[in-house]
Structure 1
Amino acid sequence: MSIRDGILYITYKPIPELDLRAAKKIVAGRLIFQRHQSYPILCRIQHLKNISDQALDHFATKGSLMTSAVAILTNNDYDQSLALLFRDVHHPQVPVKLFKSELNALAFLQDYK
């Protein structure tokens, strides 16, 4: 995680199975890192392999706390499917858009700073 120019960047490391327990740790760590200040998030999910339905639901609900919008970078069909499942099935409480270009993702997030 890093914060630059008012945007929180999150890059997931390779995780064989991201379950609810891991999702709770990730969200708690993010909130501490942010010092409870809201940010738009640029999320790189390229290294995620398997993520449980419960983890996706946690990210969509509790994971939306202190978040103004989320741009998800996708590089392949799997990333795209995972991001669509998150956005369209779990209905996060903030605007979420998918991008293949980091520049376009950052342009989207500018309105949510």
Structure 2
Amino acid sequence: MKRAQQISENAYAKFCVADGILFWTYKPQLVITLKVAYSVVENRVRFQKNRAFPILCDIRGVVGVEKAGRNYLAQYGSSLATAVAIWADQTVLDSMSSFYVTINKPRTPTKIFICQTEALNYLNQFK
């Protein structure tokens, strides 16, 4: 990955753009509530300044997701996203992500990966 061209951070996540991909990384030990989901999406959309990107969403720091937060992310979380790759490297997180993709059915093409390289390869087709 090239050096990040833009960086932003809030209490729940960090965002940066590099090589035409937006990297969205949740902070450690985070439970995604409706408040967290709303804040993160609002900050990310503002950060993007009306430009759509493929998004690599790193959820390795997430320890739980409340139903309202998951529903909000499924409906609004992929705003200004051409595709989303969810990167989870633990079995529990992989299960949470699978539930999100299967039950909540996000509006944007979304896949789950345990390997960052595979996730980036997937996103490169959406640049």
**Fraction of identical pairs, as percent:** 31
Structure 2 residue 71 is matched with structure 1 residue 54: no
1:64 aligns with 78
Runs (4+) off by over 3 Å: none
Distance 1:71 1:82 in 2: 14
Tell me which residue corresponds to 2:89: 75
**1:85 alignment partner in structure 2:** 99
Which residue in 1 is equivalent to 2:122? 108
- 5+ residue gaps in structure 1? none
CA distance in structure 1 between the aligned counterparts of 2:76 and 2:113, rounded to whole angstroms:
23
Choose from 44, 54, 64 the match for 1:30: 44
Call closer, same or farther: CA 1:5–1:47 in 2, change over 3 Å: same
Equivalent pair of 2:85/2:113 in contact (CA under 8 Å): yes
* Length, aligned pairs only: 113
Task: Please state which structure has a larger fraction of its residues in helix.
Answer: 1
Q: Give, in whole Å, the separation in 1 of the partners of 2:115 and 2:32.
A: 25
Task: Tell me the SS of whatever aligns to 2:55.
Answer: strand
1:50-83 Cα deviation digits (max 9, x unpaired): 1111111111111121011111111111110111
Deviations 1:33-52 (A, max 9, x none): 11121111001101101111
Root-mean-square deviation (CA, aligned residues, Å) is 1.0
How many angstroms apart in 2 are the aligned matches of 1:15 and 1:38? 28
1:60-113, Cα deviation, whole Å (9 max, x unpaired): 111121011111111111110111011001000011111111111111001111
Give the TM-score taking structure 1 as reference length. 0.95
Q: Using CA pairs below 8 Å that are at least 6 residues apart, which structure has the higher relative contact order?
A: 1
- Give SS of 1:80's match: helix
